[in-house]
Amino acid sequence: MNDKSTAKKYIGKVYLVGAGPGDPGLFTLKGKGLLECADVVVYDALVSSAILQMINPQAKKLDAGKRRGRHSLSQEEITQLLITKAENNGVIVRLKGGDPFVFGRGGEEMADLIKAGVSVEVVPGVTSGIAAPAYAGIPLTHRDYSSSVTFVTGHESAGKYRPIVKWSAIAHGSETIVVYMGIHNLPYIVEQLQLAGLSLNTPIALVRWGTRIEQEELIGTLATIVEQVKASQFGAPAIAVIGEVVNLHQILPSYRPIS
């Protein structure tokens, strides 16, 4: 038997689409067009309901939602599901919160699909690490305070990333640090940044459910933030911004959608 007779044929194409951080106004036109003509949509937990409402009513909707400690489907199961759906469907949308290639495992999913012989394309989304601070009145760069930004995962299993997070280097690598998935591990992160020499007075902002009506902000310093989180029971999902740019929230307006 030659390779041609054994090769699987996939009629469908998978689109890895970034849904943005929540506000449907931040969703791309390309992403919306794909949702409207999708045959199958496999979506994550952080995709907002306003965006899910844009899905073609005839499409099959599958919740692959993953939230801390509650995995509905494993990464392998999600990839296998996409491969199976590509056998008999035309447009398969894999809808992910924010941007698929920013702490979204989009790169892994894309590589696995290509390996299986499935056509795949990425449609970038607005990442929460930029949008949530912006809606809170915090620009990540500013000519007076910051000419560089680092995006880093604060997830406690960050050792799975290559290279692993070196907080001592992160502390001095840029003027603004943006931490994804950092709330659970915040005491450790704050301690590591202090040990690396960042001042206790360094401002830090946490923005929870950024760009949604539920958006909340907590502003403090490296000295105070852990206690503030405890006292207010501030939880995930949130972005942490560390650096002098945080002080700009005092003069720039914060914004959140009203519906």
Ligand X SMILES: C[S@@+](CC[C@H](N)C(=O)[O-])C[C@H]1O[C@@H](n2cnc3c(N)ncnc32)[C@H](O)[C@@H]1O
Binding stretches for ligand X (CB under 6 A): 21-22, 46, 96-99, 102-104, 127-128, 132, 180-181, 207-212, 236-239
- Give the SS3 label for residue 73: coil
Task: Specify whether the CB–CB gap between 52 and 43 falls below 8 A.
Answer: yes
Nearest CB to ligand X, comparing residues 46 and 55: 46
**Catalytic: which of 8, 23, 66, 96?**
66
Dihedral sign from CA coordinates of 46, 209, 50, 37: negative
Nearer to ligand X, 46 or 245 (CB): 46
- The single residue of 8, 166, 181, 230 carrying the catalytic annotation is 181
44 is catalytic: yes
Nearer to ligand X, 43 or 180 (CB): 180
Q: Is 61 part of the annotated catalytic residue set? A: no
Q: What share of the chain is helix, strand, coil (3-state, %, to 5)?
A: 35, 25, 45
**Which among 44, 96, 99, 110 is annotated as catalytic?**
44
110 is catalytic: no
235 and 208 Cβ atoms separated by less than 8 Å: yes
Backbone dihedral region for residue 209 (phi beyond 0: left; psi -120 to 50: alpha; all else: beta): left
In the complex, residue closest to ligand X by CB: 98
Q: At closest approach, how far in Å is the CB of 225 from ligand X?
A: 15
Active site residues: 44, 66, 181
